[in-house]
Amino acid sequence: RVQEAGQSAMDAIVSATSLAARSLGLQDAIGAVAPGMEADLIAVDGDPSRDITALRRVRFVMRAGRVYRNE
């Protein structure tokens, strides 16, 4: 749907992360991977900046420093 709407994959990722944090007034705490910020991360199979469907292929989630795998 992202591509159908004319939005690039990277624009969609930015909208879901840093722009969402900013709209909630949380840009100083979340929304980016940077020193001093909180971050939960996902590792995916593929490059979501080129193919947004890679976000459907999650290999693991890192939350609060712990790795969770769907095995």
pLDDT tens across 15-43, in order?
Answer: 999 999 999 999 999 999 999 999 899 99
The pLDDT confidence band at residue 4, using thresholds 50, 70 and 90, is confident
Determine the Cα–Cα distance for residues 54 and 43; give it in Å rounded to an integer. 10
pTM of the model: 0.76
Determine the Cα–Cα distance for residues 12 and 15; give it in Å rounded to an integer. 5
Burial class (CB in 10 A: 0-12, 13-18, 19+), 39: middle
Query: Hey, what amino acid is at 12?
Result: A
SS3 23: helix
